[in-house]
Amino acid sequence: MRFVTYNVHYGQGRDGRFDLDRIAAAVDGADVIALQEVERFWPRSGHTDQVQTLAKLLPEHWWVYGPNIDLASPMGFPGEAADRRRQFGNMLLSRWPIASSRNVPLPRGARVGRTMQRGALEGIVDAPSGPLRVYSTHFDYRSADTRALQFEMLSSWLAAADPADAPWAGDHPDGADGWLVGDEPPIPQRAVVMGDLNIAANSAEYDRTLGASSGLHDAWVLAGGARDVESKHGSGRIDHVLVTAGLTGAVRRVWIDDAAAGSDHQPLWADLEL
């Protein structure tokens, strides 16, 4: 299976131009796609519904979206409807059905008034090799302490996977009140976490946060990659693909697409034999 994560910077490239077509072209060919900084109906990006636009540009994929900012749209902008919401968050797309999804809010730390809400969007992908949990996430960029809290919560969430966490809580009798339609999606142990963690791979913070005791393993390192590459110019490799222990032997290749120009980040790809 081929995975890619891309912080799309709400479609604005290094040249200052907004172009979702080149975002879609940059990730086309992946089986599972994790996108960050996808927005809906913001003036800066032309009041575009980027979620629907990207879904149409990648028609062979199922998709889910998790807004971490959801605001009433101010009146007075051309084309704005009274019930239209301005949203900003993460997106997942999959070549196979996404059986269920959840948007998990991440801690904001002590700087609640000065840092935006972040989240981890979970999708249960009905992959040919069996169900797989995948995440698209984006950590705080200002505070290492806040990032540590966010990583700790996400790691604990992953470690605590249990069938009782399934959407129906695992205790509804079949057909009760018409709630259940078909089988309840499982909560598999194996998982792939993708996103902009704002943790540079050549930093002491990386060693503290993503160490062996975290329960998550850096696919880049597993594939034998060097630590001093960049996924965002001037910031190092801050975008990551992480896998749970049961998938460490599945990593085959990881690379950065240096040619993509649709964002201030570069897409990070990973091939896993699943």
**Whole-number pLDDT of residue 23:** 98
The stretch 213-231 carries a mean pLDDT of: 85
Per residue, what are the HEC states of the chain?
CEEEEEECHHHECCCCCECHHHHHHHHCCCCEEEEEEEEECCHHHCCCEHHHHHHHHCCCCEEEEEEEEEEECCCCCCCCCCCCEEEEEEEEEECCCEEEEEEEECCCCCCHHHCCCCEEEEEEEEECCEEEEEEEEECCCCCHHHHHHHHHHHHHHHHCCCHHHCCCCCCCCCCHHHCCCCCCCCCCCCEEEEEECCCCCCCHHHHHHCCHHHCEEEHHHHCCCCCCCCCECCCECCEEEEEEHHHHHHEEEEEECCCCCCCCECCEEEEECC
More confident residue, 138 or 172: 138
Name the nearest CA neighbour of 239 among 216, 219, 213. 219
**Whole-number pLDDT of residue 21:** 98
Answer yes or no: are the C-beta atoms of 272 and 32 closer than 8 Å.
no
Task: Please write the tens of the pLDDT for every residue from 111-164.
Answer: 655 688 999 999 999 999 999 999 999 999 989 999 999 999 999 888 877 766
Residue type, 183: D
**Torsional class of 9: left (φ above 0), alpha (ψ -120 to 50), beta (otherwise):** left
Task: Please write the tens of the pLDDT for every residue from 11-29.
Answer: 999 999 999 999 999 999 9
Cβ of 4: how many Cβ atoms within 10 Å?
Answer: 23
**Whole-number pLDDT of residue 226:** 75
The stretch 179-188 carries a mean pLDDT of: 72
**Whole-number pLDDT of residue 80:** 61
The stretch 235-254 carries a mean pLDDT of: 95
More confident residue, 48 or 177: 48
Residue 78 pLDDT greater than 80, yes or no: no
More confident residue, 3 or 186: 3
**Whole-number pLDDT of residue 83:** 66
User: Domain ranges in the chain?
Assistant: 2-74+83-272
**Whole-number pLDDT of residue 161:** 74
Residue 241 pLDDT greater than 80, yes or no: yes
Task: Please write the tens of the pLDDT for every residue from 185-215.
Answer: 778 889 999 999 999 998 999 988 886 556 8
* Percent share of the chain, pLDDT over 90: 66
Residue 259 pLDDT greater than 70, yes or no: yes
Identify the band that residue 176 occupies on the pLDDT scale cut at 50, 70 and 90: low
Domain 2-74+83-272 is found in CATH 3.60.10.10: yes
